[in-house]
Chain A
């Protein structure tokens, strides 16, 4: 079973920041938080990952709470092309290949 909890769906206005929450209250000290997304009819795409510090790359920012029990993926300026299912996954770094996908959050970016 997936070790994360995400809202099933969210809406976001185009151009605004999209903040996708993830609860992982049972995360262990050496488990990382990974985010992937899946655009309709495509394979999943890696977005970002982190352990305890906040991370940022060209696609998104990852904010992890101090107790590491939850995190938020931020898309700073959402576009229509960001409409997708977003998956939050926790896994050991050396098992980053063994990703257990849950149901994810279906993000709809609306004009």
Chain B
């Protein structure tokens, strides 16, 4: 089966600009996650969707980050405006079971 797709793979923006990331989960996976991974650290969960509803967004900086999952399939994560500390890899994952998540390759964001 096809894996989790993410685009773009790389993005460079200046601070205060906006950026959006796209994720297409594995077909049939109801749960979708967005993680932020800063260099040298483990991934940190930003938001979890079950179908098109938000299950957990407690770690999402809502003043600048937003995410949506229309029709319970694809998802977008947006940052507006970006800060230097947002430089990281943004990972999307999906799952059908509670214990096994499948991760995409990630989008590497550099904010200058």
Contact = CB atoms under 8 A, between A and B. Distances in A.
Chain B associates with chain A: yes
Interface in B60-96: 91, 93, 95
A98 interface: yes
Range for the number of chain A residues in contact with chain B: 20 to 34
Interface residues of B, number: 24
Nearest to B4: A43
Main secondary structure of the interface of A (DSSP, over half): loop
Contact of B100 (A2, A46, A101, A103): A46
Contacts of A93: 98-99
B101 A46 contact: yes
Given A99-B45, A102-B42, A42 B33 contact: no
A96 interface: yes
Q: In this complex, which of B43, B48, B55 has the most chain A Cβ atoms within 10 angstroms of its Cβ?
A: B43
A107 to B, nearest CB: 15
A96 B42 contact: no
15 contacts: A32-B99, A43-B91, A44-B43, A44-B101, A46-B100, A87-B42, A95-B98, A96-B98, A96-B99, A97-B31, A97-B95, A98-B56, A101-B41, A101-B43, A103-B42
Interface of A: 2, 32, 34, 36, 41-46, 49, 87, 93-104
Interface of B: 4, 31, 33, 41-45, 48, 55-56, 91, 93, 95, 97-106
